[in-house]
């Protein structure tokens, strides 16, 4: 494809995207295909000769699109939203055109510098204090990086927390003397250590030294680390997203899901303290708590104001806040109290915070800003600088090389779409999007409640954000709580609802003391009152159908 062909193909693609958005509401929301449908439509091997663009573009529409579930559809109420916006799309197109891996400042200074600025923009929009921003701290520089997902954030934070914890423990359980004095075997490694020291000027922890020595295949150091890491525990609750269990799985650590009770499903200081004391009495070491603002199943928020009193008294314990879905609501002043912004901004207690702008924040996938109070915690855990990555500015320590704050080396230029979106919408447009989608969810809640008075529907958790969790109950019955009968009824209801996946998408979950239930989330900027009301009518009809089937 040459420049002129690209110009024509690009204009055509933009036209088609516009047509797609104009006709979105007429498409089946969920892909109506069977497993394996695609492999039957495309050849088993790539073509030997170039193909004309017209046939490639036409196959995108005829072969790929039927297998796409339209997350931007006004009737997509499943999972959490995955917003897209036109300014963000243009940013991604520009990014693709300058494709570069942005790992060091010098490989594309704008990529690093815009990301630092956008982290500060987003932080200020969310009301995060200066200590969370890149220029905020006097001794410690806050800020952070934009990663691809809340899962990647959890893993990155777990690594940083582990290294910080081992660093603290190393003071009590020093590395064996013969190991700490051991000479490193290769020149390359020595070089990398020197470079680390120069670059970061943020120091090197005892844990990092241990890690580097591990590279020289010294098993004693590995054993020393293993003796500490085998005792580390990650805490969350039964409502924490599986990102916490996954981070634990990847790192070979334990995840402890603490119980939380209906209807608020919120972790408090008492439960956490009891678990910590119990673990400590068995020689285990608390090193990471993943608290949530806006859980997936019910939108619950852990009691951060009380949890920070616990994390403060356990220096090895890092508190990360996963606000993947609801974190964007910190941009709304009326939500800041219930979202514990004071606790987040308190002088100590919370170590990291993350939200996904790619959920409800108008920036299309992927975009997970990770804020840390001390970015040295990330760089001490993740910096390795072989000769081929050294640069003049990096060695001089006068630039931030973002590879040192993340797992991978190369990185996407995600900040461009944040810049375009925040400028095109302004904070007021961003806030309007959140408030108007919440208003639609409130409308849905009112419809469910009204019907519930007559007996067939129950809201099972306090509605939060733009999420309403409900189930059906036998008409006229006052039976509530968890029961096999209610579960069976609602699983049948769910099966019936799934038959309507071309019309709308909902998702299911299960809550302690409730059981099986249905989630309804508004998030698409395309959704209007009439969509919500039409969907509600179909949900009601389906409930009656399920009830008849249940009684057959
Ligand atoms: N945390 C919460 C509260 C979520 O709801 C989700 C996804 O819905 C995640 C984390 C995982 O997000 P990601 O896909 O970015 O890893």
* CATH code of the domain containing 114: 3.40.640.10
Query: Which domain, by its residues, includes 543?
Result: 1-30+69-84+426-552
Q: Could you say which of 385, 412, 439 is where a domain stops?
A: 412
Q: Which of the listed residues 152, 155, 292, 296 should we mutate to test ligand 1's pocket, taking the one with most ligand atoms within 8 A of CB?
A: 296
Report whether 354 contacts 322 (CB < 8 A): yes
- One domain, residues 380 and 500: no
pLDDT of 140 reads 66
Atom 14 of ligand 1, nearest CA residue: 149
- One domain, residues 293 and 222: yes
Report whether 350 contacts 344 (CB < 8 A): yes
Note whether residue 530 is domain-resident: yes
Report whether 323 contacts 293 (CB < 8 A): yes
Q: Could you say which of 365, 389, 412 is where a domain stops?
A: 412
ipTM greater than 0.95: yes
Separation of alpha carbons 366 and 86, rounded Å: 15
Separation of alpha carbons 32 and 68, rounded Å: 9
Q: Could you say which of 412, 445, 476 is where a domain stops?
A: 412
Q: Number of folded domains in the chain?
A: 2
- One domain, residues 355 and 444: no
Q: How far is the CA of 236 from the centre of ligand 1 (A)?
A: 14
- One domain, residues 430 and 316: no
pLDDT of 136 reads 54
Query: Could you tell me the pTM of the whole model?
Result: 0.91
pLDDT of 202 reads 41
pLDDT of 173 reads 74
- One domain, residues 329 and 434: no
Q: Omega before 248 cis (within 30°)?
A: no
Note whether residue 56 is domain-resident: no
Q: How far is the CA of 451 from the centre of ligand 1 (A)?
A: 31
Ligand 1: which residues within 6 Å by Cβ? 79-80, 149-151, 241, 243, 292, 294-296, 322, 324-325, 356, 368
pLDDT of 219 reads 59
pLDDT of 477 reads 75
* CATH code of the domain containing 19: 3.90.1150.170
- For the sheet with 285-292, list strands across it: 143-147, 368-372, 352-354, 318-322, 285-292, 232-237, 254-258
Note whether residue 50 is domain-resident: no
Note whether residue 53 is domain-resident: no
- One domain, residues 477 and 506: yes
> Residue 153 CA: which ligand 1 atom is closest?
16
Q: How far is the CA of 13 from the centre of ligand 1 (A)?
A: 31
- One domain, residues 385 and 532: no
pLDDT averaged per 10 residues, the chain (length 552): 96 97 96 94 95 96 97 98 98 97 96 96 97 73 94 98 93 67 41 38 42 50 84 97 97 96 96 97 96 98 97 96 98 97 95 98 98 95 95 92 96 98 98 98 95 83 96 83 91 97 97 96 97 97 94 88
DSSP collapsed to 3 states, 461-487:
CCCECCEEEEEECCCCCCCCCCCHHHH
pLDDT of 170 reads 85
Atom 11 of ligand 1, nearest CA residue: 150
> What would the two tokens of residue 69 be?
């579930």
């Amino acid at each position: 494809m040459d420049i002129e062909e690209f110009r024509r193909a690009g204009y055509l693609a933009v036209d088609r995207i516009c047509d797609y958005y104009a006709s979105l509401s007429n498409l089946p929301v969920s892909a109506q295909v069977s497993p394996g449908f695609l492999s039957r439509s495309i050849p088993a091997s790539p073509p030997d000769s170039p193909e004309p663009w017209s046939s490639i573009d036409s196959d995108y529409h005829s072969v790929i699109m039927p297998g796409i579930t339209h997350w931007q559809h006004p009737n997509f109420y499943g999972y959490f939203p995955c917003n897209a916006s036109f300014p963000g799309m243009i940013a991604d197109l520009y990014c693709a055109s300058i494709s570069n891996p942005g790992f060091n400042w010098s490989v594309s200074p704008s990529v690093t510098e815009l990301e630092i600025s956008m982290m500060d923009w987003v932080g200020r929009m969310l009301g995060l204090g200066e200590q969370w921003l890149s220029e905020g701290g006097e001794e410690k520089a806050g800020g952070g990086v934009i990663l691809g997902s809340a899962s990647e954030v959890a893993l990155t934070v777990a690594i940083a927390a582990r290294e910080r914890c081992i660093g603290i423990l190393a003071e009590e359980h020093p590395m064996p003397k013969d190991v700490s004095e051991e000479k490193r075997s290769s020149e390359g490694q020595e070089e990398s250590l020197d470079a680390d020291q120069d670059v970061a000027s943020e120091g090197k922890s005892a844990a990092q030294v241990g890690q580097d020595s591990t590279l020289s295949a010294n098993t004693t150091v590995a054993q020393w680390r293993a003796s500490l890491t085998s005792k580390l525990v990650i805490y969350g609750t039964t409502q924490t997203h599986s990102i916490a269990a996954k981070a634990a799985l990847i790192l070979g650590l334990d995840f402890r899901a603490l119980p939380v009770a209906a209807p608020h499903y919120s972790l408090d200081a008492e439960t956490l303290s009891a678990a910590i004391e119990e673990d400590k009495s068995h020689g285990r070491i608390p090193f990471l708590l993943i608290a949530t603002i806006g859980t997936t199943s019910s939108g619950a928020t852990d009691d951060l104001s009380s949890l920070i009193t616990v994390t403060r008294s356990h220096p090895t314990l890092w508190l990360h806040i996963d606000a993947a879905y609801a974190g964007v609501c910190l941009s709304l002043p009326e939500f800041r109290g219930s979202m514990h912004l004071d606790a987040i901004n308190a002088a100590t207690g919370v170590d990291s915070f993350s939200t996904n702008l790619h959920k409800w924040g108008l920036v299309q996938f992927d975009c997970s800003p990770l804020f840390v109070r001390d970015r040295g915690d990330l760089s001490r855990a993740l910096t390795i600088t072989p000769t081929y990555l050294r640069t003049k500015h990096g060695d001089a320590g006068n630039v931030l090389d973002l590879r040192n704050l993340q797992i991978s080396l190369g990185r996407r230029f995600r900040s461009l779409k944040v810049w375009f979106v925040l400028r095109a919408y302004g904070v007021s447009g961003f806030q309007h999007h959140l408030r108007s989608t919440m208003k639609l969810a409130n409308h849905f809640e009112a419809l469910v409640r009204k019907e519930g008075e007559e007996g067939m529907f129950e809201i099972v958790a306090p509605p939060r954000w733009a999420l309403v969790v409900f189930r059906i109950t036998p008409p006229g019955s006052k039976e509530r709580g968890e029961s096999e009968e209610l579960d069976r009824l609602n699983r049948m209801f769910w099966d019936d609802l799934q038959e309507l996946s071309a019309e709308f998408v909902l998702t299911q979950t299960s809550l302690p003391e409730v059981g099986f239930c249905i989630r309804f989330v508004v998030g698409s900027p395309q959704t209007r009152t009439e969509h919500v009301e039409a969907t509600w009518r179909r949900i009601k009809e389906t409930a009656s159908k399920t009830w008849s089937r249940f009684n057959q």
